Structures are given as C-alpha cells and as structure tokens.
Structure 1
Amino acid sequence: MTFRARFRGVTWDHPRGREALRAAAPPDLLAWDVQSLAGFESHPVADLCARYDLVVLDHPHLGAAVEAGCLRPLDELFGAAELASWAEQSIGPSWRSYTLAGRQWALPLDAATQVLAARGDLTGYVPSTWDEVRSLARAEPTALSLAGPHAFLTFASIAVALGEEPAATPDTLVSAETGRAVFDLMTEVDARAPAETRALDPIGLLELMTTTNRLALCPLVYGYVNYSGRVTFGDAPVVAPGGRPGSTLGGTGIAISARARPSAALLDHIRWLMAPRTQREFVPAHAGQPSARAAWHDDDVDAAAHGFYRRTAGTCEQAWVRPRHAGYIAFQAAAAETVRGVLSGDLNPAAGLAQLTDLHRASTREPAR
C-alpha cells in the first residue's frame, strides 16, 4: 500500500541525522527529505520553512529565522510543564541553544559538540591537553577541522580552552592576547597536517580515520557516535589538567515552520521523539545520537557506543553556545575564510584578528542578507 504523508520534514543526510527520524515516522503522517551537511550548516532556514513543515536545524540559524518570522514558537503548541521537562532532561546547553528572545523555537533531538578523536592504535594513548596534542602532532598525522565554517569553530573552541569565550560583547570577538595564542597553536598543529585533510568536513575526517591509517588524531571534531570503535573519542583538550575543555556546541533541533498547521497526531509524534525511553532506546538503536542526559549516562547505551558517551559527556556539558543574531551565519563563513588565510600565510595573525573583529562587529549591526 502507498501512503501519502500529510506533513514533510527536512533533516541532514547522514545516518545520525536521518535513520531514526525515518524509522519512527508513520508513513501516512510524516515523510523526511534530506539535505547535505553543508546545507544544514549554511542553507537559509527561511527557504526550508517555505517548503517544509518540520525543519531540523542548527541553533545559530535562529536569529535569521526568527527575524524572518518563519518558525512557530513552541510555547504556542506545547504546555509549559512538558517544555520544562524537556529542558531538564537535555544535556548541557542543548536546550537553551534553541531559546531566543524568551521563547523556545526548537527541541533538541540530537546533542553533539567538538571532541577529540584518536586512533589509539596509532597514537598509543588518547591525549587530554593541548601540549600532548602538540607532541603527538610531531610524531603522528594530526589534523584540525578546517573546512567550511569549522576553521572558525576550531578557533573559537581553543579560545574557550584558553579561558575566553568569544563574542562576549558586540564590539569584541577575543582579546589580542587570546587571538594570537590561538593562531600560534593552530598554525603549529596545522603545519604538519596531511594536505588532504584541509578540505574535509567532520564526516570526511572521521571517514578517513576509520578507513585508512592516514590520520591518527583530530583534536577537535564534532563527535559522531557512528564512528566510535576504531576511533576513540575523548573530551576536548584542556590547556592544563582540570581546565575547561574548549568546545563549540553543535547538535540539532527540530522546529515547526510558520506555514505548518500541525495536527494533534504530529505533535504527539514529536512528543514521542523527545520521550526519555525513545531517547534512551529507539534513537541509539537507529544510528542516532540522543539529546537526553540520561541516555548519555546509560550503561547499555554507552557500552554499545564503545564508551563514546561517557568519554565526551563532560565536554558536552561545558560547551560554548555560538551567537544567534541574524547576521551570525554570514559572519561564521567569512570568519572561517579569515582563519584559513592566517594558517596559509596570506594574512599575518594581527591582520587576521583585526579582520575577525571587524567582521564580528559588522554582523551584529547589520541585518541578515
């Protein structure tokens, strides 16, 4: 029998992003399309909302989406008690990353942040500090995550490890001292990186690590439980033992477009996706990465994931949340180009930091394009 779904959603094209959603969707209620990881990171949410009822999005898109009026605030559709319950169960800052202007715009289905990924059989141990990363980079093939927006996200995470959260004010990205220290560290590690790695997104880096011996260590890459096993994941590096692991929050949220007229059945399906048992059992069983803290600390879930969750939960709890103003996505893309310019030698660090600061200031003062 052929069903025609009443509602359509769009998610991102990786087993972690699609398998659980598609397996769970009643065929007469909901069908899921996919877009690439690059699209998930950069495609305007307003365009997706014009075509879909449900949109799986990245929280930095919220500012532009809210400005465009293309999302339904979820307090119009769900009760205060259930929203509070979901907020309580979500790991780290996942819930508040989808809160803007006092309203909730998406529900965190998936939690992720940048963590360390190592081939322990090649490195001999899993480093925990940036000094250990530096040492291993001299001996084993090591790469930073630099493609797309990730060059800037790596820059931001190292700044966090050094004790300074970026973009604390509209006029300041990071201090000159922190910015120079970040560039020095990134330049040192990147100088020895295999050339092929500079164009790879996080999925490409982890695929390279699992299928070849050409990459032994990536000190900051978005964690994907799907690659745990041959790759050992650990907390993001710290500057000194006991310090904060520098990491930039990722993950995904499910939002409802303003054009949608969700039925009671669709809202109940979303409730089921967020339910603790679904997060602990169904999502991990279908290649997903849950957002519920209890799932990250469940012995069976963690054992099936080769220790991925317990080894990285601390980083997820302390991850930095990116700005979500309307101009942020364009800033993030331009800032990543600037960071790559410094690493390639086309810009000196002082000029690169000045350019980053100018880009940040402009993004907070101009409407999104």
Structure 2
Amino acid sequence: MTVPTYRGLTWDHPRGYNALAAATAQADAFSLSWDRHSLEGFESHPIGELCARYDLVVLDHPHVGEAVAADCLVPLEAIFDADEIAGWRGAVAGPSLASYHYAGRHWALPLDAATQVMAYRRETVALPPIEWAQLPAFAEDHAVALSLAGPHAILSFQSICGALGFEAGAPRDTFVDRAVAREAFSLMAALTGEVTRRAQALNPIAMLRAIERGEGIDLCPLIYGYVNYATRGVGFADAPAGPSGRIGSTLGGTGIGVSKRCRITPELLDHLRWLMSEPVQRGFIPQHDGQPALRSAWQNEAVNAATGGFFAATLATVDAALLRPRHDGAIAFQTAASAQLRAALLDGDAADPLLDQIDILYRKHHPAGAET
C-alpha cells in the first residue's frame, strides 16, 4: 500500500517551522514535509500560486478573499464537523478562527495566535507607557521606533485608529473616518524621528532582534508579538490604549489551509486535529518554539513561566484585536497603502493628501459589495 505524501509550506522562523517539522514524526500513516519561505513571501505571495504547489499552506487571514476568488482552498466545513469548528471557535484566543471566516465559511485552522503588542528592552525601560498620549513625551527620553517596513505602516495606522475609536468591518467607501485618521497620522508623525528612520526597513523579526541586542531601540509601541524573544531581554506588554481605554491592535497569527490539490485522508485530518488539541497546544507547540492559538495555553501557568509571562501580558490585546481587510485585493491595498504612508511619514508630508491617496487605493482594491 502506497503511503500518501504531502508537501506543506510555512514561513521561515522557528515559530513558524519548528513545531510543524517536529510534529511530522508523530505521523506514521503518511509522509509530510514542510518547506519554508521568507516572512515577506508569507505576507505577500499570491495564495493561488502556493496552493498549486503545496497540499498544506500556512497563511495569514488577509489572504482568504484572494483564496476564495482563486478557488484554491478547501473550506473547513467540507472536512470537519460543525461541532468541531464551533469547539475551536470557543477555544481560541481572540478572533483567531473568526479571522478565517469569509463568504460564509472558514478557510484555515488557526494554529498560531498573534497580534501587535508593545515590545521594549527590559534593561532600559522600567515601566512602558500604557496610552498613546504618553508616547511622544516618553520618546523624548527613550529610543522609540515605529514598525513601518512592508505592510506594517498601514497595519500600525489601522491599530492606532482602533485605539482612537474607529470601528473596522462596517461597509464604507473610505478606509478610516477622516477625523480619526488625521489624529492617528499625527501620532505616527510625532514618532517618526531619527530612531524610526533608522529602523524603517526592519521587519518585526529584525526589529525584535535589534531590541534584544541593544542596537539603538528601547521600545516599539506596535509590533507583532513573538514569544521567542520574551526570554532574551525583550519585554512585552499590551498595545497602547486610546483616551477611552480601548486597546488598538491588528490581528496577525497564522492558520493552516488545505489546498484543492490535496488528497485528503482521515489520517491527515486526525493530524490537524492533533495540532489543534489542548495538550499539544499547551505542551508540544510551545516546547518547539511555537506560539499556540488556544486560550487555555495563553492562560497556562507553566507556559507563561517558561516564556517570561509573554502570553498573560498580552492576552487582553489579542482579545481586543481588529481584523485586517480580507477581500480579494486586500494584499495589494495593504502593500500600496503602506508604501504611501511610509513615504509620507519619512518625507514629513501633510496628512490630508496622503489620506486621500489611501482612500483612492482602498476603493480601487475593494470590489463593490465585497466583504471586508
């Protein structure tokens, strides 16, 4: 009897690869190997092309609209019972499963939960700020950097808008209400000093490494949390709050999607169930550099003790996190809008011309009547 052979694709970081690779040893009814691509490829590569080459694809939720348009993923409803899906929905941290729900179905299993949080160097920051209003003054005495590389400028902008009261997800013709957008841009402009300029090309992994190594950055107010750095001198805290106390953050994390090319077997589905099970999420995955999705793991005392309290310190931010646009065209919008915003901040441009361009891009890349 021929043993089924599967190829999976994940992203090239211990958090994205090590647990999945180690888990293949648990499977004896099939063969599964995992390839890796860069963080930038994970964030922007067309999902249809990846699904044409791989059986399992680790993806981020902004790709789901593109995946539905390309008809390249199998919905979870076609391979798992409704009770199982409902159980995962209630068990995950924050909107991790909801982020993969689009066009009436779910398109990935939320293996990993993450969102933008505050990261700081423990040696130089005794007490990180808790509100956006405190950041400009804090930056006068500390090296504060915004995360602007790749899509992160626009993601930080959306998060600040959320802290200031913007409600994402409602049908609209503009990306963000203009009054809130101006205030968010003003905050970002105030923090685009020399430290941010030097760090403008750093993706979140490189930014966290710079904080870890003491390379001129004391704090980043919004950066995707990586548990791997929590025991290396990097402290993590909830993202800054707005004047009403609302935390602003934009969900990240990853899910495993099953491509249309995959030959689905009961054994493969059992393997995916195993990865999502509570013992594995609070044991095997964190023990292999992973960042679990289940709330029970984020609240587990042993998991927190081993990771410098990373999960307990940031769970409130995960629960409050906003979703990114997920329509077909969301990745193109995210890429173009982030480039425009980054350039405007670095060049010292005025807010309204930039915000006009972002709204034009949003309408261009957002099909009329499409979900967000």
Shared fold (TM-score greater than 0.5)?
yes
For the residues of structure 1 that align with 2:199 and 2:161, how far apart are their CA atoms?
A: 22
For the residues of structure 1 that align with 2:249 and 2:286, how far apart are their CA atoms?
A: 23
Instruction: Please show how residues 1-369 of structure 1 align to structure 2 within 5 Å.
Output: 6-26=5-25, 28-166=30-168, 168-229=170-231, 230-240=233-243, 243-345=245-347, 347-365=349-367
Q: Which amino acid aligns with 1:237?
A: P
Cα offset for 1:172?
1.7
Q: Which amino acid aligns with 1:142?
A: V
Cα offset for 1:177?
1.2
For the residues of structure 1 that align with 2:108 and 2:261, how far apart are their CA atoms?
A: 15
Cα offset for 1:365?
2.5
For the residues of structure 1 that align with 2:139 and 2:147, how far apart are their CA atoms?
A: 14
Question: Are the equivalent residues in 2 in contact too, given 1:144–1:218 (CA < 8 A)?
Answer: yes
Gaps of 5+ in 1: none
Cα offset for 1:166?
4.3
Q: Which amino acid aligns with 1:262?
A: I
Question: Is 92-101 or 4-13 further displaced after alignment?
Answer: 4-13
For the residues of structure 1 that align with 2:186 and 2:52, how far apart are their CA atoms?
A: 44
For the residues of structure 2 that align with 1:21 and 1:169, how far apart are their CA atoms?
A: 37
For the residues of structure 2 that align with 1:206 and 1:196, how far apart are their CA atoms?
A: 14
* Residue deviations 1:4-48 (CA, integer Å, cap 9, x gap): 971010000000000000000137521100010000000011000
Question: Are the equivalent residues in 1 in contact too, given 2:121–2:214 (CA < 8 A)?
Answer: no
For the residues of structure 2 that align with 1:167 and 1:155, how far apart are their CA atoms?
A: 15
Structure 1 residues 147 and 102: alpha-carbon distance in aligned structure 2, compared to 1, 3 A threshold: same
Q: Which amino acid aligns with 2:156?
A: T
Question: Are the equivalent residues in 2 in contact too, given 1:143–1:218 (CA < 8 A)?
Answer: yes
Q: Which amino acid aligns with 1:113?
A: T
For the residues of structure 2 that align with 1:183 and 1:4, how far apart are their CA atoms?
A: 55
Q: Identity of paired residues, percent?
A: 49
Q: Which amino acid aligns with 2:42?
A: F
Structure 1 residues 266 and 167: alpha-carbon distance in aligned structure 2, compared to 1, 3 A threshold: closer
Question: Is 225-234 or 191-200 further displaced after alignment?
Answer: 191-200
For the residues of structure 1 that align with 2:242 and 2:83, how far apart are their CA atoms?
A: 40
For the residues of structure 2 that align with 1:190 and 1:347, how far apart are their CA atoms?
A: 12
For the residues of structure 2 that align with 1:194 and 1:81, how far apart are their CA atoms?
A: 47
For the residues of structure 2 that align with 1:245 and 1:60, how far apart are their CA atoms?
A: 21
Cα offset for 1:82?
1.2
Superposition RMSD in Å: 1.7
Question: Are the equivalent residues in 1 in contact too, given 2:60–2:255 (CA < 8 A)?
Answer: yes
Cα offset for 1:358?
0.8
Question: Is 71-80 or 305-314 further displaced after alignment?
Answer: 71-80
Cα offset for 1:348?
2.1
For the residues of structure 2 that align with 1:148 and 1:4, how far apart are their CA atoms?
A: 41
Equivalenced residues, count:
364
The TM-score, its normalising length taken from structure 1, stands at: 0.95
Q: Which amino acid aligns with 2:337?
A: A
For the residues of structure 2 that align with 1:167 and 1:134, how far apart are their CA atoms?
A: 29
Question: Are the equivalent residues in 2 in contact too, given 1:149–1:333 (CA < 8 A)?
Answer: yes
Cα offset for 1:194?
4.9
Question: Are the equivalent residues in 2 in contact too, given 1:94–1:291 (CA < 8 A)?
Answer: yes
Q: Which amino acid aligns with 2:150?
A: G
Cα offset for 1:79?
1.1
Question: Are the equivalent residues in 2 in contact too, given 1:46–1:68 (CA < 8 A)?
Answer: yes
Q: Which amino acid aligns with 2:12?
A: D
Question: Are the equivalent residues in 1 in contact too, given 2:189–2:348 (CA < 8 A)?
Answer: no
* Residue deviations 1:314-358 (CA, integer Å, cap 9, x gap): 000010001210011000001101111220226421100001111
For the residues of structure 2 that align with 1:170 and 1:335, how far apart are their CA atoms?
A: 17
Q: Which amino acid aligns with 2:136?
A: R
The TM-score, its normalising length taken from structure 2, stands at: 0.94
Question: Are the equivalent residues in 1 in contact too, given 2:195–2:216 (CA < 8 A)?
Answer: no
* Residue deviations 1:292-333 (CA, integer Å, cap 9, x gap): 000000001011110100110000001000121001100000
For the residues of structure 1 that align with 2:337 and 2:329, how far apart are their CA atoms?
A: 12
Structure 1 stretches of 4+ with a deviation exceeding 4 A read none
Question: Is 43-52 or 75-84 further displaced after alignment?
Answer: 75-84
Q: Which amino acid aligns with 1:47?
A: E
For the residues of structure 1 that align with 2:137 and 2:124, how far apart are their CA atoms?
A: 14
1:253 counterpart SS class:
strand
Gaps of 5+ in 2: none
Cα offset for 1:213?
4.2
Question: Is 157-166 or 39-48 further displaced after alignment?
Answer: 157-166
For the residues of structure 1 that align with 2:266 and 2:198, how far apart are their CA atoms?
A: 49
For the residues of structure 2 that align with 1:365 and 1:124, how far apart are their CA atoms?
A: 47
